[in-house]
Amino acid sequence: MNQTPSNPGHWLVCPQPNAGAETRLFLFPYAGGAPTAFHTWSAGLPGHVETWIAYYPGRGSRYHEPPINELHVLVEKINHAIQPLLDKPFIFLGHSMGGMVAFELARRLRRNNLPQPQILFVSACGAPHIPNPNPPMHTLPDADFIKSLQALNGIPAEVLSHSELLQLLLPALRADLEAIENFEYTPDHHRLACPIIAFGGSHDPCVSRERLEGWALHTNTFRSHYFEGDHFFINTARESVMAEIMSSYAKR
């Protein structure tokens, strides 16, 4: 029986290790997100799926590590950490910033002739070749920065009401947004071999349908699926999102 590798470093955490799992689902959080963003997922997925969550520095138990404000640096760190976990079929899902992390990681694996995801799910994330029309947020003064995050429903109410906790989160949020807002996509004229399925929110003010459907350019097999909700539909429609992931995987 395959055993779960014990040394992926602190870049990836597994809430419920399952040595008998047939498939690994790698989840990449949004800006400011920690593994807690997906902490309920493992219990809601079939027993043959083992969940691993990317853990970016500058938050949670990694609070005292400086956050990373360059996407390619973040991807390279995760690329190194994930390799012992590629001995089973796997799926990538990234939400918002995490979608771009997952996509660039899949490209990095391909360039290194390493296994590819069975499916790449990009959620609330615009295609990399289409310019983001939204003004950058990471340089805003704190008050305006927080208002912009509130408009996206990107900060839980319990955090907004706790000013000290909010101040602790701001450096990681700024670094993550700087990483994604300053990211420059470099085309290499090679589509990914794996299917890409794009998830969108029906009322997402940040990612238009045009930007979401643009992911079709990066694979030979593309499909989109929309859920009721805003930019963070992945929280409000979590069970529907998880059901769609497993249904898509079963049909691949």
Write the CATH number for 118. 3.40.50.1820
Query: For residue 3, is it within any domain?
Result: no
pLDDT of residue 76: 97
The Cα 11–Cα 63 span in angstroms is 13
Query: For residue 136, is it within any domain?
Result: yes
Kindly list the distances between the CA atom of residue 181 and the CA atoms of 40, 127, 163, in Å, as whole numbers in the listed order: 29, 13, 25
Condensed to tens digits (0 to 9), the pLDDT of residues 96-112 reads: 999 999 999 999 999 99
pLDDT value at 149 more than 90: no
Query: For residue 139, is it within any domain?
Result: yes
Query: For residue 175, is it within any domain?
Result: yes
pLDDT of residue 4: 46
pLDDT value at 205 more than 70: yes
Condensed to tens digits (0 to 9), the pLDDT of residues 39-52 reads: 889 889 999 999 99
Number of domains making up the chain: 1
Domain containing 204: what range? 9-251
pLDDT value at 5 more than 50: no
Query: For residue 121, is it within any domain?
Result: yes
The Cα 86–Cα 116 span in angstroms is 9
User: What is the arithmetic mean of pLDDT over 128-135?
Assistant: 93
Query: For residue 2, is it within any domain?
Result: no
**Residue of 42, 96, 123, 148 marked active site:** 96
User: What is the arithmetic mean of pLDDT over 154-176?
Assistant: 80
pLDDT of residue 146: 86
For the question of residue 123 being annotated catalytic, the response is no
pLDDT of residue 252: 83
Query: For residue 4, is it within any domain?
Result: no
Query: For residue 101, is it within any domain?
Result: yes
